[in-house]
Amino acid sequence: MNRIINYLILATMVFSVFGCACTSTSRSDFEENLNDKSDVYRILYYASLAGNSHNTQPWKVNVIDDYTMEVYADTLRHLKVVDPTRRGLFISLGAFIENINLAAGNLGYSADIVIKAEKPTDTLAAVIKLSQTEKTNFNLVDLENRKTTRTPFENGPINTNDLKLITENFTNVVFIPANSDNGKYISTKTLEAYTQQANNEDAKNELAAWIRFSNADVKANRDGLTTGGMGIKGFGGFMVRNLFKPADSKKQSFVDKGVDKTKAQVENCAGWIIISQTEDTPENWINTGRIYEQMNITCSKLGIGFHPMNQMIEERNFEVEANNALAPRGIIQFVARIGYVKDSSKSNSVRRPVLEFTKF
């Protein structure tokens, strides 16, 4: 009896000290009413739900008028260590642009997208002009439900019809089963590349700059890697939110846990998606991002986990070997593991308000 009383006292003390920090601050905590907003504002809100590296949200928008907008790369949000070529930056912008296209269609607009970036150092990515047309049947809920899933997946094969829905519209996409020789190669090299990157001091510092462990940091920044977004749940999530600081992510114990988690991830999936392009250009990177976003949305609708794992092509020594070993249709630009999941939770990844990245 005394032990039970002590537990109750401890629980009361914990709640009184940490209060609402018992739960993770997530996207639902920042919901806004879009009913009184302009169509352009609503389009940009849904565009901001796009997938992107480390949840840096590296986009800026200049709205010229009700029908014209310019999309820029926010270079202050560029991951210079793991993405020195800016490929990942432009892929993230491509996902953002694809969401503009999809959201515009739902609201009765056609989006004419003109890619402007020619060099990796260019900041103006695209100019988008809207024109009124018939509404598409695309459901905006699909943008809200799109998510990156970091848990282990089921190892069973992807249903043929589902795989067709994911890949059929893309000639530069291949699916590689996990149990194939190439699938085992990707699994092994992804883990090795992750381990190399996770132990790189510069990469550690860059990652720590985007860690948002505490609810206070999440509310202040509304970007980066949160416990909810990283899938750290339950008591473990509570402990991390309240007792860990971003600098703790650089400790060897934290790095080793990340390696163990990655090992479980690469060993548990149905297979790998690879997107290739004929050459490395900003336009091809943006188009890669648009393809990635479309496939991620489709997977989320089908109950299939989708997890970008690009370490194998982010680490240069692994990238060269992978392109030679896998002999893809061009140069590998994007790698993701997929597999059925039982997790039906909504996306917890937070986003910045539209007015923070947009100039009207």
- Taking the C-alpha atoms of residue 199 and residue 58, their distance in angstroms, rounded to an integer, is 25
Q: How far is CA 154 from CA 262, 269, 304, in A?
A: 15, 6, 9
Bridge-partner residues for 335, per DSSP? Answer: 274
Strands 331-340 and 271-277: antiparallel
Mean pLDDT, residues 246-272: 97
Which of 23 and 95 is assigned the larger pLDDT? 95
Q: How many residues does the chain have?
A: 360
Tokens of 277: 């392009």
Query: What 3-state class would DSSP assign to 272?
Result: strand
29-146+353-357 against 160-340: fold identical: yes
- Taking the C-alpha atoms of residue 285 and residue 85, their distance in angstroms, rounded to an integer, is 11
Strands 59-65 and 68-73: antiparallel
Domain 29-146+353-357, architecture per CATH: 3-Layer(aba) Sandwich (3.40)
Residues 278-301 have pLDDT tens digits of 999 999 999 999 999 999 999 999
Q: Which of 296, 274, 225 is nearest to 254 (CA)?
A: 225
Q: pLDDT band at residue 315, thresholds of 50, 70 and 90?
A: very high
Query: What 3-state class would DSSP assign to 140?
Result: coil
Q: Which residues of 30-68 are buried (b: 16+ CB within 10 A; e: fewer)?
A: eeeeeeeeebbbbbbbbbbbbbbbbbbbbbbbebeeeee
Which of 27 and 48 is assigned the larger pLDDT? 48
State how far Cα 47 lies from the chain centre: 13
Residue 22 pLDDT greater than 90, yes or no: no
- Taking the C-alpha atoms of residue 292 and residue 92, their distance in angstroms, rounded to an integer, is 9
What's 160-340's CATH class? alpha beta
Q: Give kind and range of the element (H or E) at residue 273.
A: strand 271-277
pLDDT of residue 3: 53
Query: What 3-state class would DSSP assign to 304?
Result: strand
Q: Give kind and range of the element (H or E) at residue 359.
A: strand 358-359
pTM of the model: 0.93
Tokens of 210: 């985007």
State how far Cα 176 lies from the chain centre: 21
Mean pLDDT, residues 148-172: 96
Share of the chain above pLDDT 90, in %: 83
Residue 80 pLDDT greater than 50, yes or no: yes
Residue 314 pLDDT greater than 60, yes or no: yes
> What are the domain boundaries of the chain?
29-146+353-357, 160-340
Residues 97-156 have pLDDT tens digits of 999 999 999 999 999 999 999 999 999 999 999 999 999 999 999 999 999 999 999 999
Residues 182-205 have pLDDT tens digits of 999 999 999 999 999 999 999 999
The residue written with tokens 């971003």 in the block is 246
Residue 258 pLDDT greater than 50, yes or no: yes
Instruction: Evaluate whether 289 touches 342 at the Cβ level (below 8 Å).
Output: no
DSSP secondary structure letters along 168-196: TT-TTEEEEETTSHHHHHHHHHHHHHHHH
pLDDT of residue 327: 73
